[in-house]
Amino acid sequence: MRRALALAAMGPAYGPNPRVGCVLLDPGGRMVAEGFHRGAGTPHAEAAALAAARASGVDPRGTTAVVTLEPCAHQGRTGPCADALIEAGVAIVHVAVADPNPVATGGADRLRAAGIEVTTGTLAGEGEELLRPWLHAVRTGRPYVTLKLATSLDGRVAAADGTSRWITGPQARAHAHTVRAQVDAIAVGSGTALTDDPSLTARTVDGGLFEHQPLRVVLGRRAVPDDARLRGPGGPLLQLPEHDLDAALRQLAEREVRHLLVEGGPTLATALLAADAVDELHAYVAPVLLGAGATAVGDLGVTTIGEAARFATHDMTRLGDDVLLVARRARSEGAAPHAHTQPALAQPAQTGRPSRHTKEEI
C-alpha cells in the first residue's frame, strides 16, 4: 500500500479527480504491475495497472490489487474500475480509503458481489492525508480553503507607507508559486484586484509559467479593468459578485474546484477566518520587524483568549531566512462554517494605512 500511495502522489494534485495508485501482486506476493491516475480523461489507476500487466505478458487473473481509493462503480470518461477488476479476474482487493463520492461509491460492494475478497482501511490515515483536499470537498460540498499569509515577525503585511516588497525572501516566494501550481483556484477580493493589479499566475524560478495555471477568482462587485493583468496570460478569470462566502464557495465547488488558495488582503482573510471557513493556513514569516503598518488580519470579534481561532501546527519549513508554518483548523471534516458567515468584502477594523500587499509575489 505504501508503494500505491507513492504512485498516487505522482498524479496531479489539482483537478476534479482524486489521486489514486494501484499495485498488482501475484499469488506469491510479488509485484507484477502498477499504475496511477494521470489526470482527468486518462485511465484510472486500476485500469493503468491492468494494462501494464498485460503489456508485460502477465495475466492479471488471480492477482491481488492494492488500491489507495475504493474502485469506482460509475461510468464517467472511463468505465467503472470495479468492473475492470472483475473482468480481469482479480481475486483480492485491498483498499486504503472508502470513496465518499455518492456518484462513484459502491465499488467494494460490487466486487464482493462478484466473489472478490475486499478489505478496506489499509493505511487509511496515510490515504486520508494524501487525499485531504479532495475528500474534504466531496464530503462538505465546498472547496478545501488554504489561506496564505506573509508577514513580518510582528504580524505586518506592509510598512506604514504601504510598501511590502519584499517582506519575505526569494525562496519563500518560489515556494508559494509551487503551491499555486498545485491548487485548482486562487482567490482575491476585488479591492486587491484593483489596487495591486496582480496576475495570480504560477511561475517557475526563471519567470516562466507552470503548465498548470489555476482558475483566477475575484470576489466582489467592482469590475476588473479590461487592461488588468488578471486578463493576461494565465488561468481563466472568474468574478463572483457574492458577498456571501458560503454561496461563493459552493459556486466554486459546482465548478469542480476542490482546493482553493486565498491570497487576498486583510479584508478577505478576516472574513474567511471570522466565518470559520479556513481549513489550512500557510504563514510565511520573515525575521523582520516593522512596528507599524497594516496587519495580516483585522478584527475577528475576539474579546477574550478563550475565543481565539486556534489552529494545529502540521509542519514547519525553513525557506532561506524565512519560516513557513502550515497549520490546520481543529474541526471535523464534515463540520460546516459558523452560521454567522460575514460578508466576504465587509471592511474589517484596521489600524494604520490600508495594505497594498496581496501576496501576488507573497
Residue 157: alpha-carbon gap to chain centroid = 24
Q: Which of 326, 9, 353 is nearest to 172 (CA)?
A: 326
What residue type is 232 in one-letter code? G
Helix (H, G, I), strand (E, B) or coil at 83: helix
Active site residue 87: no
Q: Which residues contact 231 (CB under 8 A, 6 or more apart)?
A: 224, 237
* Angstrom distance (rounded) from CA 37 to CA 141: 23
Instruction: Name the strands in the sheet holding 311-319, side by side, starting at the edge strand that comes first in the sequence.
Output: 237-240, 215-219, 185-189, 259-262, 144-151, 280-285, 322-329, 311-319
- From the number of C-beta atoms within 10 Å of its C-beta (0-12, 13-18, 19+), residue 343 rates as middle
> 301 vs 245, 257, 281, 306, 332, CA distance in Å?
18, 30, 19, 12, 23
Distance of alpha carbon 263 from alpha carbon 251, whole angstroms: 19
Alpha helices in 89-123 (DSSP H): 107-113
| CA–CA distance, 178 with 172 (Å, rounded to integer) | 10
Closest by Cα among 148, 157, 187 to 324: 148
Exactly one of 46, 70, 280, 361 is catalytic; which is it? 46
CA atoms of 316 and 284, how far apart (whole Å) = 10
User: Strand 144-151 to strand 259-262: parallel, antiparallel, or no bridges (unpaired)?
Assistant: parallel
Radius of gyration (Cα) for the chain, nearest Å?
Answer: 23
From residue 177, how far is each of 167, 238, 247, 269, 325 by CA, in Å?
16, 20, 28, 19, 16
Distance CA 180, CA 211 (A): 11
Residues annotated as catalytic (active site), given as ranges: 46
